[in-house]
Structure 1
Amino acid sequence: MTPLTKKMFRDLWHHRGQMISIAAVVATAIMTVLSMRGVYESLVTSRDAYYETSKFPDVWVQLERAPESLRKQIAEIPGVASVDTRVSFLATINLDQIEKPASGLFVSIDNPDAMLGRLHLRSGRFVRKWDRDKVMLSEKFAITNSFEEGDSIEVVINGQLRAMEVVGVAISPEHMYIVPPGSFFPDNEAFGIVWMGRQTLSALDNMESAFSEAVLTLQAGAVEEQVKADLDELLKPYGGRGSYGRPMQISHQYLENELKQNKTMGTAIPAVFLAVVAFLLNIVLRRLISTQRQEIAVLKAFGYSNADIGRFYFQFSLVAVLVGALVGLFVGVWLGDVMIEMYKEFFVFPNLQYKLSGSLLFFALLVSILAATVGALGGVRNAVPLPPAEAMRPQAPARFHPGIFERMGLGTYLSAATRMVLRNIERRPMKSILSALGVSFSVAILIIGLFMFDGVEYMMNLQFNVAQREDISISFNRPLTPDVELDILRIPGVAVAEPFRMVPARFHSGHLKKEAGITGRSVAHELQRIITADGDIIPLPLSGIVISKFMADHLQVRRGDRVSVEILEGRRPWREVEIVEVVEDFMGVSAYMEIGQLHRLVGGARSVSGANVKVALGQQEKVSRTLSDLPAVAGVASPRSTYEIFQKQMSEGLFIGIFFLIGFSSVIAVSVIYNGARISLSERGRELASLRVLGFSKREVAVLLFAEQGIITFLAIPIGWYIGYLLSQAIALSLITESYRIPLMINFDTYVYAAGITLIAAIGSSWLVRRRLDRYDLISVLKTRD
């Protein structure tokens, strides 16, 4: 072992507290990179493998009814590789064990081995094309309701009550994330996928030798937009509702949104930690080198070159980084496994495991070493050029001058201790600014983590307590006449019924286009309202159309512009309408019209797609079951139930999220404040010891030391609030998706919470330094080195 190596280990031991704090920050940075980005890579790898092995479709289209002979014409469309047709529809499931009505998406199966979107069998067997009254269930639905092979399940299809035997449980790449129609969150208790043999399901839905849905895979190099245009033209006479690709497929869309969020957070949070690593190493090495000037001179006098000295201090900083990286590796892999288990609660894969790639590990180590290099550079740059003769002399004392308070004439009003603290802060402005910036990052970490909970809570509260005021939302399995409102009102317990019409459409503005549903309602309706991001209610206009800001931005239009609307049902007319209002909302892509105007736009007979219902107090369960038994009702949803599911999932995720955020924030706060206090103690050791000799108590000396850190911490908190706000704003913009837009909403208690955690961490780190201060040997400290 070389003399420099021995010296390095001695210095590491002497500064072990500071090195441990730096290693902790490095470990946290590595941990977040390996867990968040590792989970992202694991999800992407598992998704791609699952899509490939299951022949995941590229294009989907729903329609009213088309003869099976049309399948050959679809396959002949240029660019189409393979076609699969099926029958699918929503129907009611009778479950006595739950209070709310249940429903399912019923999908036909021809040949399980040849189908696109091939099922992955979890238990039992596949249902066969000719099987009568046999079904397979989606895994989450089966597990939640304790269904096993051989059990019986009652379903209501077109008014017919049928008892079906469960023969298997499966998962599908098209339904990795299963949400009921009109909802945003899974409800595994009340909604699932039901697969049946093609012959039986077709007979129940009057679809013999016909299909209501087609899925396609495309050839390599095929132009998807052209294929979809040709497909829509072919299916126009058969009630085609507009084809769509993977980006619009619900399950794929939710998964992509989650991947985007994970990737963004997995980049932003580690970047903050690595910046703190560079800052801490810089101030620690600068202080270490300033106290080792004479040692550096001796080393140079004995023949060590500038390169040797520089290499020594780089290695010194690298040890803390490598130790932190090793700890971060093990903790990051463990945390990655934990996060993968959490994702399994929402997304269903055949085999989802956390896998750490060598490239990600190399990247994490590389950026950590780069951060250490940047941090060490400033200190090493001070050590290398020192001539031995100059380094042998003590560092020249700094030139001080009266502080701003003295120049303002306020010094006489301040105590001696206060003046000492303020002078020390002012005389080292760069150190004070950097220390405050480091502490502010700990506040910012909490802000950017908690703002997402605040934003989502605000978004859901607006959606389910302000916009959606109905108790029950009904969807029909076919268009009905508006007179159905009277039939619903005759049901005991129903207080208000407001029918609506949903029409699929494609909006065109020049070369830009966007698909979205148009909701038609009466201007007198009150159960569902159009609201802005601030919660203001927008009245439904008698003419023109109201669209969401997301669609307006995509089409590059604004209020007063006109857009072309292609209706994707019936005779598929093209119309031009005026945009009378653009509303900033948070969920989906929306468009609203007065229902009478929508009828005229679409043409044909007036019809409604569903209804929103308000019921008498205590009658919701009874009314829901009555409605679900009606032959024309495809599904019954409860916004209140959806909101309760969200709150449950939110509370579980909030606890875990806050736990890690507190840990992350505390690591930064303790590291920065502890290092700042230790450096101040080293720099002012003789001064503080002299005060003890002059009669100051340990408590009074500690106040002088920690008051400086306290002022810096209190100044850092509002800076951290502002940095956190800016970072939250950037993250919110990066997370904008078609499914949802998280609003930049930061509650007051989030700011208080972030400040409180930082102050607690500051108190803890001050306690650690106070213990060292109390053990100070006054004689050894006061000995001169001159």
Structure 2
Amino acid sequence: MSPLDRKLLRDLWAAKGQVAAIAAVIAVGVMVLVMFTGLVLSLDETRRAYYERHGLADVFAPLERAPRAVLDDLAELPGVARAEGRIRGAGRIDLPGRALPVQAVALSLPQDTPAALNGLRLAEGSRPAPGRNDEVLVLESFARANGLGPGDRLSATMNGTRRSFVIVGLAQSPEFLYTTPPGELAPDDARFGVIWMPHKAVAALYDMEGAFNEAILSLQRGARAPPVLDAVDRLLEPYGGQGAYPLAEQTSNRFVSEEIRGLEMMSRAVPPAFLAIAAFLLYIVVWRMVQAEREEIGLLKAFGYTDAEVAGHYAKFVLAIALAGALLGALAGLALGRATVSLYIQYFKFPFLVFRLDPAAVVLGGTVSVAAAATGGLVVLRQVFRLQPAEAMRPPAPPDYSRAGRIGAGLAARLDQPTRMVLRRLTRQPLRMGGAVAGIAVGMGLCAAMITIHAGFERTVRLGFEVVNRSDVTVTFTHPLSEAALYRIARMEGVRAVEPQRHVPVAFRHGLETHRGAISGLVERPELFRALDEEERAVPLRADGLVLGDALADILGAAPGDVIEAELREGARPVLRLPVAAVAASAIGTPAYLELSALNRALGEGFRASDALLTVDAAQSDALVQALAEMPFVAGASSKAEARAALQELMDSGMGTMRFINMALAFIVAFGVVYNAARIAYAERARDLASLSVMGFSRGEVTFVLLGELVVVTLLALPIGSAVGYGLTLVIAAAFSNELYQVQALFSAASHGYAALVVLAALLVSGLLVRRDIARADILAVLKTRE
């Protein structure tokens, strides 16, 4: 080992505290990059392989009823590779011991041959035997959640007919990776089921002999979806076509895509902040080393070491820290990614999901971390090249403070000597102090952003289930009903209030932007479900204008006054042109609201409601729910408490868990920045502090001289960190938000206050550690050190 390499090891050991802190910051940035990139790769490739293996359709086309001969016409359309028809119907499953009925979807299995499109993966049991119309397959996640298995019997009501079935197998489907009860957005395996039945059995139940009510199509390689969708809509219009849509808009696939998009945004937004902090800290540390070792640098050059060899020694110091951090980050990212991927097995119903380490991410993480470290040390290394032996072995010229800021005579007279020493250092080295302020501000900003995001998640749940929705139970009807059904429900024992709603599927268009969603018809002055503005005040509904949720307004690029084209996919299927009356704060989903009577008039119908919101007497809720379940026109009923629990579980899993991970990492970075600032300050002033001790200053005064500077720097960094935190909150909130829920990037005084307390706690701990070093320091040894 060369002498320079032995010196390198001694230097690393002497600065082990700072080395560990900087390597930890680099490791965090690389870890986030490796983990998020690996999760994106794992989810995307698993999804692609699963879709291809089981032939998930490229186009879905619901309709009212069409003869099977129409499938031949669909298959002949340009761009279509294959067309299949199936029967899809709503159902209701009654489970023993469960008060609320479970909503379900019944799907037909092909009559003779296995499906080429939307194939099933049999997880347990077998397929229904030919001619056995009472045998069914059930979605595995639903069966597991309710303790069902092959051989169990299942009671269900379909199209008003109550039937009993035998479960012969449990199935998985790429079409149902993400399953939600109708009318809700949060998945709940226990409250939504999918039943696959022989084609003849479903046809008999829904009066579809020789017909189908949903077409699924695969496209030829290279075919564009929009022209095919238009052709399918024209062909199916006489048969009550409800609008074909591509795989990208299929509910399950859309939420998988949203999750991948959020992970990609996080992988781009978070690592640069960590690596920038590491670059700054390395610059300070290496600059301090070069200044302290001027004489040694001169001696090395005088003894024959070249400029490149000496500079390489300090470059190795930087690279050792960067590579150690990158390696640690890659290993931590792999471990955390493998632990996190198990959450996605529960979140999305993939049959398998293995965390794949993206080699490119590891290479990129290492390259970027080394580049950041090199950036931090490059400016300092230029000084090493410029130092000539004779110049380096002379003491450096005393710094010129003639142009530095001065403390006024009046103020100086009122301050003691230690305080004046602190202020002089701050005014004489403004750039250095500004760099320390910037580093601590970024650390606090990360903390503030993550605490605010955590509060934003809680606000989303509170707003959605306490302020917007004030009902207890939502009752969904099998089809839109008149006021008579509402009166019947209102007279039931235990019902306190009833409020009707109607949800109509619609295709929105504004300029070049489109969105497939729904219009919710609300009464003129709703009480149980309201549209609210940012101040949580009720937004009045109008008959001549839409109220858009802010998430939908962003998607369409619409603002109040803009005209939206809405193609209704129900009733007479009119195309409406409605102005945007207002934009409401939407915490959950992408809603659009219209006054109920105006929506019914647009459909050419009298009063109709597709569901009803109820407030109920808690003491009579069980009996009421049982009575509702027995009504033939009730498709299902859901408790707001269950829906809230499902959303809370969703937000605490999958992408939602990342907020806890990021919060912990932000705390680590905040402490690392403050601790490094304290250690650097101590290393720079160790000789001065020892001199003060010899001159008679007490240990407390010596500590004050050192830490007073850090306290002032930290206090200056707090307001700047708050501003940085708000900016980061905007970026991170956008990454977490999707069509399911929106995390508001609001300024939270409490969140920023907690972040400030974290930084102050880091300051206190760092001060105690440095004070311990001051107490342990050998004053004579420090004074003998030549700088």
The equivalent residue for 2:166 is 165
Q: Secondary structure at the match of 1:103?
A: strand
Deviation, structure 1 residue 473 = 1.5
Give the Cα–Cα distance (whole angstroms) in 2 for the partners of residues 341 and 255 of structure 1: 15
Amino acid at match of 1:46: T
Q: Report how many aligned residue pairs link the two structures.
A: 786
Whether the 8 Å CA contact 1:62–1:243 is kept in 2: the answer is yes
Greater shift, 476-485 or 324-333, is seen at 476-485
In structure 2, the CA distance between the partners of 1:556 and 1:728, relative to structure 1 (3 Å rule), is closer
Whether the 8 Å CA contact 2:90–2:159 is kept in 1: the answer is no
> Does residue 691 in structure 1 map to residue 692 in structure 2?
yes
Greater shift, 236-245 or 598-607, is seen at 598-607
TM-score normalised according to structure 1 size: 0.95
The equivalent residue for 1:48 is 48
Greater shift, 306-315 or 445-454, is seen at 445-454
Give the Cα–Cα distance (whole angstroms) in 2 for the partners of residues 378 and 49 of structure 1: 49
Whether the 8 Å CA contact 1:286–1:382 is kept in 2: the answer is no
Give the Cα–Cα distance (whole angstroms) in 1 for the partners of residues 168 and 746 of structure 2: 48
Give the Cα–Cα distance (whole angstroms) in 1 for the partners of residues 186 and 270 of structure 2: 27
TM-score normalised according to structure 2 size: 0.94
Q: Secondary structure at the match of 1:37?
A: helix
Give the Cα–Cα distance (whole angstroms) in 2 for the partners of residues 560 and 401 of structure 1: 62
Give the Cα–Cα distance (whole angstroms) in 1 for the partners of residues 82 and 2 of structure 2: 70
Whether the 8 Å CA contact 2:650–2:656 is kept in 1: the answer is no
1:66-105 superposed matches below 5 A: 66-105=66-105
The equivalent residue for 2:314 is 313
CA distances 1:45-67 after superposition (whole Å, capped 9, x unpaired): 11111111111111112222222
The equivalent residue for 2:581 is 580
Greater shift, 457-466 or 39-48, is seen at 457-466
The equivalent residue for 2:8 is 8
Deviation, structure 1 residue 448 = 2.5
In structure 2, the CA distance between the partners of 1:666 and 1:616, relative to structure 1 (3 Å rule), is closer
1:608-647 superposed matches below 5 A: 608-647=609-648
Q: Secondary structure at the match of 1:354?
A: coil
Q: Secondary structure at the match of 2:480?
A: strand
CA distances 1:223-276 after superposition (whole Å, capped 9, x unpaired): 211211121222222222211112321111111111111111122221111111
Deviation, structure 1 residue 741 = 3.2
The equivalent residue for 1:36 is 36
1:327-476 superposed matches below 5 A: 327-400=328-401, 406-407=407-408, 409-476=410-477
Greater shift, 638-647 or 575-584, is seen at 575-584
CA distances 1:297-328 after superposition (whole Å, capped 9, x unpaired): 11111222222222221111111111222222
In structure 2, the CA distance between the partners of 1:527 and 1:112, relative to structure 1 (3 Å rule), is farther
Greater shift, 695-704 or 558-567, is seen at 558-567
Q: Secondary structure at the match of 2:386?
A: coil
Amino acid at match of 1:532: D
Give the Cα–Cα distance (whole angstroms) in 1 for the partners of residues 452 and 261 of structure 2: 17
Give the Cα–Cα distance (whole angstroms) in 2 for the partners of residues 28 and 299 of structure 1: 36
Give the Cα–Cα distance (whole angstroms) in 2 for the partners of residues 394 and 533 of structure 1: 64
Give the Cα–Cα distance (whole angstroms) in 1 for the partners of residues 553 and 356 of structure 2: 41
The equivalent residue for 2:594 is 593
Whether the 8 Å CA contact 2:447–2:667 is kept in 1: the answer is no
Deviation, structure 1 residue 280 = 1.1
Amino acid at match of 1:42: S
In structure 2, the CA distance between the partners of 1:604 and 1:354, relative to structure 1 (3 Å rule), is same
1:653-732 superposed matches below 5 A: 660-661=661-662, 663-732=664-733
Q: Secondary structure at the match of 1:743?
A: coil
The equivalent residue for 2:192 is 191
Greater shift, 578-587 or 372-381, is seen at 578-587
Amino acid at match of 1:38: G
Q: Secondary structure at the match of 1:684?
A: helix
The equivalent residue for 1:175 is 176
Whether the 8 Å CA contact 1:318–1:372 is kept in 2: the answer is yes
The equivalent residue for 2:762 is 761
The sequence identity of aligned pairs, in percent, is: 36
In structure 2, the CA distance between the partners of 1:458 and 1:551, relative to structure 1 (3 Å rule), is same
Whether the 8 Å CA contact 1:92–1:102 is kept in 2: the answer is yes
In structure 2, the CA distance between the partners of 1:469 and 1:70, relative to structure 1 (3 Å rule), is same
Whether the 8 Å CA contact 1:242–1:504 is kept in 2: the answer is no
The equivalent residue for 1:547 is 548
For structure 2, the 5+ residue unaligned runs are none
In structure 2, the CA distance between the partners of 1:654 and 1:369, relative to structure 1 (3 Å rule), is closer
The equivalent residue for 2:21 is 21
CA distances 1:706-765 after superposition (whole Å, capped 9, x unpaired): 222222222222222210101111333456644443211243332232222222223233
The equivalent residue for 2:570 is 569
Amino acid at match of 1:95: L
Give the Cα–Cα distance (whole angstroms) in 2 for the partners of residues 512 and 288 of structure 1: 57
Whether the 8 Å CA contact 2:103–2:182 is kept in 1: the answer is no
In structure 2, the CA distance between the partners of 1:91 and 1:533, relative to structure 1 (3 Å rule), is farther
For structure 1, the 5+ residue unaligned runs are none
Give the Cα–Cα distance (whole angstroms) in 2 for the partners of residues 90 and 714 of structure 1: 62
Deviation, structure 1 residue 653 = 8.0
Aligned-CA RMSD value: 2.4
The equivalent residue for 2:237 is 236
Give the Cα–Cα distance (whole angstroms) in 2 for the partners of residues 343 and 82 of structure 1: 32
Q: Secondary structure at the match of 2:618?
A: coil
Give the Cα–Cα distance (whole angstroms) in 1 for the partners of residues 129 and 228 of structure 2: 31
Deviation, structure 1 residue 103 = 2.0
Amino acid at match of 1:430: L
Whether the 8 Å CA contact 1:127–1:197 is kept in 2: the answer is yes
Whether the 8 Å CA contact 2:406–2:427 is kept in 1: the answer is no
Greater shift, 507-516 or 356-365, is seen at 507-516
Whether the 8 Å CA contact 1:458–1:745 is kept in 2: the answer is no
Give the Cα–Cα distance (whole angstroms) in 2 for the partners of residues 513 and 403 of structure 1: 60
Amino acid at match of 1:204: L
Whether the 8 Å CA contact 2:675–2:762 is kept in 1: the answer is no
Deviation, structure 1 residue 28 = 1.5
Deviation, structure 1 residue 659 = 5.5
The equivalent residue for 1:58 is 58
The equivalent residue for 2:324 is 323
Give the Cα–Cα distance (whole angstroms) in 2 for the partners of residues 428 and 510 of structure 1: 56
Amino acid at match of 2:9: F
Amino acid at match of 2:104: G
Deviation, structure 1 residue 129 = 6.2
Deviation, structure 1 residue 392 = 0.6
Amino acid at match of 2:569: L
